[in-house]
Amino acid sequence: MSKVIYVSTPERFSSRLINPVAILADLSRYRELITSMTIQNFRSTYQASYLGIAWQVVLPLIMLSIFYFVFGVILGGRFSSIATESRLDYALALFVGLGFFNFLAQNIGAAPSVILSNMAYVKSLAFPLEVLPVTTVLTSFITLVINVGITMIVFLLAKGNIHASSICTIFYLLCILLTTLGVSWILSTLAVFFRDISAFISPLTIILMFMCPIFYPASMVPKRIKWVIEVNPIAVMIENVRACMLYGVWPSLSSIIYVFLFSLIFAVMGYCLFMRSKTAFADVM
């Protein structure tokens, strides 16, 4: 049996570092490593529990029930002006928005320790460090996909059909994945050189949360500050995925282009920064 050795080589700036196709090709060389580490991380989360991976379904259903009771029944919240919007519609809208944001927020919080907590890989092994943020993001991405699947199933059972525009959900899953990969690469790199960066993560996440229409519809934002929502790509993603999944509204072409370009450019920037900096990790750590 042949032994595969993953070698981390110094990266000079080249067009490959900003070429999305080349980046995907470089990462695909380690697809077996990425897959095995992602599965191992995902399994280890619930390895010691009785229900195991079943918690990935049980916990979202519990949260959805809480949202329905607290925000739908008690507070009577609404996201749409449509008279037929039910309490379950509001709970699902809140559940979807929080699911997308929590995926990003979870990785923002975890990114600073991705490299710092794997010092052995940095100093001792010839290891492709760029896959560490990838596996961390993919592990939590599985949870997001499960949450979206649960939303679709509950909506189908309640309404008896699924909107054709729901197909756009796949596009927004890709965009939030690219954005989060870029965030993880950037923050994991900066944390190696600036250890205080972790102190800014919590307030940054809170600010970002309230800048996104998670607990309120974008239509409630006053016109004079509505541009804050409109230029926030995360807010655009949440609003559009909620509209196409629950209300059957197709996203505009301009918003699709804006979100995709932002996500792709952000991911490329993060990868380029990480690859240009990783040769200095061992010296700093």
**Does residue 1 sit within a domain?**
no
When divided into structural domains, the chain yields a total of 1
**Does residue 52 sit within a domain?**
yes
Tens of pLDDT along 104-157? 999 999 999 898 888 878 776 678 889 999 999 999 999 899 889 988 988 898
Greater confidence (178 vs 277) lies with 178
**Does residue 253 sit within a domain?**
yes
**Does residue 5 sit within a domain?**
no
At residue 9, the pLDDT reads 46
**Does residue 159 sit within a domain?**
yes
Are 86 and 78 in contact by the 8 Å Cβ rule? The answer is: no
Which residue range(s) make up the domain with 23?
A: 15-284
**Does residue 108 sit within a domain?**
yes
**Does residue 6 sit within a domain?**
no
**Does residue 9 sit within a domain?**
no
Question: What pTM does this model have?
Answer: 0.86
